Structure 1
Amino acid sequence: MTAPAPTTQASGRVSQSAFDGSRLRVILLLDIHDGAQQEFLDAYEHMRNQVASVPGHLSDQLCQSIENPSQWLITSEWESAPPFLAWVNSEEHLETVRPLHSCVRDTRSLRFSVLRETFGGGAGAAAPAGNGLQSAPRLGDGVVRHALTFTVRPGSESKVAEILAGYESPEARVDDTTRLCRTSLFMHGNRVVRAIEVRGDLLAALRHVARQPEVRAVEEALNPHLEQDRDLDDPQSARAFFTRAALPAVHHVASCGPRSPRVRRHALYYPARPGRGMDLARLLSRQDEIAAGDPHGPVRAATVFQRDDVVVRLVEVEGEPDAAPARVLGLEEPGSAAEAAPLLDTEALGLDGPPAGERDLLRLLSHTGMRLVTDRTAPGS
């Protein structure tokens, strides 16, 4: 007899999180070029020895389809999401997987928190609580959130903003199950952040957008202004650029309060001290969960994006941000500003020291605030 699942209440506010403390299961689906199976296996044997030494990695399995020899599957288990995200977004990861590129026709990566676990042996007993399982299922609005970030050459910011604001929106419908919902573009100095919301398959949506003539024209117009050179006609160059540009959403929370036409989207850029980006993202996510519990607060939703020492937070705010700087910054709870101080690169923000008081919070809000370039919502979204 299988033991009943624990009776836990799902979170209606947090729909996306890398910080639930649970183990992570990563599934990589691969379509291998015909005749390249042995080459792929040799590359994997070399790669797996390197991956085994990555902190947080627990195990992996390589599987081949019994029906189609070109279809392969790699599953890996990690102590939690943060160490995996730190590795998969690193230059080390790019170099590790480079030998696979010549063998692989297509890939798809899926990431899951482990929610329940049942062991065999006849009893079929569920795993006891507290062993790295996600405590409760997350609910949400069916929207997948992702972002890209890159820097442009200093002095080209105005031209880049003009290019990014002037293109025609691509077709929202991707296929019968996937649709583009919203795209927001922001700039902070010479850094560009493009936040994307998709209902359905994120990878299908990104490929759909990349094929649109109006988007391709924008990307080509941006090329002379990018700090990192790229050649979109070279698959390896394009892959390397967009891999480095990926800015994953690590946490999303929505308030249980009513929506209002006065709600506006803002973006905040928090440069972290070297090696402290994940800690800063975790702090902001925890503060957002507390804020979301107040149905009368000004913050209606918040998404934290993080890669290395780049942390960006999208905030849906009712009213003017200056009216509640601590809440909009995600630093309202007692001690949170002091906790954030050693994590923030205050010099990069142009601040003399950690924020201490409303005047400093207003200055921090001013320095972290990103310039809105364009915010487009698809009809019916």
Structure 2
Amino acid sequence: MTMTSTTASKPVTRQVSHHVSQSVFDGSRLRVVLLVDVHDGAQQQFIETYEELRSHVESVPGHLGEQLCQSIENPSQWLITSEWESAPPFLDWVSSEEHVRMVKPLHRCVRDTRSLRFHVVRETSHPAAGAGTARGGLQASPRLGDGVIRHALTFTVKPGSEEAVAGILADYAAPELRVDDTTRLCRTSLFLHGNRVVRAIEVRGDLLAALRHVAAQPEVRAVEEALNPYLEQDRDLGDPESARVFYTRAALPAVHHVTAGQDDPAARRYALSYPARPGCGMRLARLLAERDEAAADDPDSVVLRSTIFQRDDVVVRLVDVRGGLDAAGPAVSLGLPDPGQVAGLTTLLDGPAATDAAAPAGDDLARALEGARMELVTDRRSPGA
């Protein structure tokens, strides 16, 4: 199996671990599918809004083209497909404040939307299509998954409210784990780092169905309402547009996941925060992904699995470690199999963790690990997950 790792200049092909179940960093072309249900009578408004959005996205780096399609069976159902050179430029665009602002008018004329993202594995091209056009590569081979979808939400609370927020998040009744016949909540892990909250979830089945199921639970709604006074970004969960914008900004997608070996019931879960320098979030996430993947091939690795979440300059690494972080050592825990590699990581970090030193001493690595370590609020795992 091979994987294409995209650098700042061009993709390069290298061998990859068969353990990888999810990654946006293989350099292959991306197809984005947006299913849209338009309000009756709003078709013309929808088309006009779409045209304004399309005229802008055409100039976004990495965008190759798109199609707008209307159902031949139900005129309220529309399909937007877009093609991108690779996943990173799309994720940068879709997470930008500019995108949040531009799609706002679109949501006023639709009942519902659903976004799906796929790497292109195989294709058939018509001879007249121009095979020599540079369009990005294909995914070299199918990846192996474990049937679990990983996603996270992140938001900030008002400084000084962290203790109250932790109490609210730790003290709530777990929602019903079974969503429907095919979807089930597997695990929810909540962490705090300063005034930033990260909620990571694992789902078998339909992620969107699971998110809607959780949001509808009375005990969850009560917790969300209790959090509202402490949030730095105001929201009104009774206003669909306010709730949509909040959760759009809070989305923290999983950009890479690797599993190194068999599950260990004694393994402990941790989250590490890597605040990136402005504009360096994707590069930092890619660097961590490459090193986690290399470490996964080491049979002696104590890191059983690692998931990297990234949005803008927020990068979070969730790890399950055999024996705990202290036993693993700061270099391994930070995602640095070789302590000498730390300079490549820290030059992308923002704030106190940043350094230009070639190889900080062990004490400095230990301080870096302590600074990155997030506080566990709660970790709930369903039986048999």
With the shorter chain as reference, the TM-score category is over 0.9
Maintained 8 Å contact 2:70/2:77: yes
Maintained 8 Å contact 1:29/1:72: yes
Match of 1:358 in 2: 362
Distance 1:287 1:119 in 2: 36
Does residue 241 (structure 1) correspond to residue 273 (structure 2)? The answer is: no
Output one character per residue of 1:236-257: Cα deviation in whole Å (capped at 9) or x when no partner. Answer: 11111100000010000000x3
Does residue 277 (structure 1) correspond to residue 267 (structure 2)? The answer is: no
Let me know the Cα RMSD of the aligned residues: 2.2
Match of 1:178 in 2: 183
Equivalences for residues 340-379 of structure 1 within 5 A: 340-347=345-352, 349=353, 354=357, 356-379=360-383
Maintained 8 Å contact 1:258/1:295: no
Secondary structure class of the residue paired with 1:195: strand
Shift of 1:9: 9.8
Output one character per residue of 1:118-153: Cα deviation in whole Å (capped at 9) or x when no partner. Answer: 22359xxx9999951111111111000000000001
**Unpaired stretches in structure 2, ≥5 consecutive residues:** 1-13
Correspondent of 1:225 among 220, 227, 230? 230
Does residue 74 (structure 1) correspond to residue 80 (structure 2)? The answer is: yes
Distance 2:147 2:68 in 1: 31
Correspondent of 2:212 among 207, 215, 224? 207
Distance 1:11 1:240 in 2: 37
How many residue pairs match? The answer is: 369
Match of 2:91 in 1: 85
Does residue 258 (structure 1) correspond to residue 278 (structure 2)? The answer is: no
Match of 2:148 in 1: 143
Match of 1:107 in 2: 113
Maintained 8 Å contact 1:11/1:137: no
Maintained 8 Å contact 2:65/2:82: yes
Match of 2:64 in 1: 58
Bigger mean CA deviation after superposition, 185-194 or 327-336: 327-336
Match of 2:319 in 1: 315
Match of 2:27 in 1: 21
Query: When the two structures are superposed, what TM-score results if normalisation uses the length of structure 2?
Result: 0.92
Q: 1:334 to 1:322 in 2, by over 3 A?
A: closer
Output one character per residue of 1:351-371: Cα deviation in whole Å (capped at 9) or x when no partner. Answer: 676561222111111000000
Match of 1:169 in 2: 174
Letter in 2 for 1:212: Q
Shift of 1:176: 0.9
Maintained 8 Å contact 1:187/1:193: yes
Shift of 1:259: 2.8
**Unpaired stretches in structure 1, ≥5 consecutive residues:** 1-7
Q: Among the aligned pairs, what percent are the same residue?
A: 69
Output one character per residue of 1:72-92: Cα deviation in whole Å (capped at 9) or x when no partner. Answer: 000000011000000100100
Q: 1:90 to 1:359 in 2, by over 3 A?
A: same
Shift of 1:294: 1.0
Q: 1:108 to 1:127 in 2, by over 3 A?
A: farther
Secondary structure class of the residue paired with 1:271: coil
Shift of 1:378: 1.4
Distance 2:44 2:135 in 1: 41
Output one character per residue of 1:20-41: Cα deviation in whole Å (capped at 9) or x when no partner. Answer: 1101000000001111111101
Query: When the two structures are superposed, what TM-score results if normalisation uses the length of structure 1?
Result: 0.93
Q: 1:353 to 1:189 in 2, by over 3 A?
A: farther
Maintained 8 Å contact 2:183/2:210: yes
Maintained 8 Å contact 1:14/1:253: yes
Shift of 1:258: 3.2
Distance 1:337 1:315 in 2: 18
Maintained 8 Å contact 1:299/1:316: yes
Letter in 2 for 1:254: T
Distance 2:17 2:139 in 1: 11
Letter in 2 for 1:374: T
Maintained 8 Å contact 2:29/2:135: no
Maintained 8 Å contact 1:27/1:76: yes
Equivalences for residues 292-311 of structure 1 within 5 A: 292-311=296-315
Poorly superposed stretches of 4+, deviation over 6 Å: 126-130
Distance 1:217 1:334 in 2: 45
Equivalences for residues 29-68 of structure 1 within 5 A: 29-68=35-74
Distance 1:31 1:37 in 2: 10
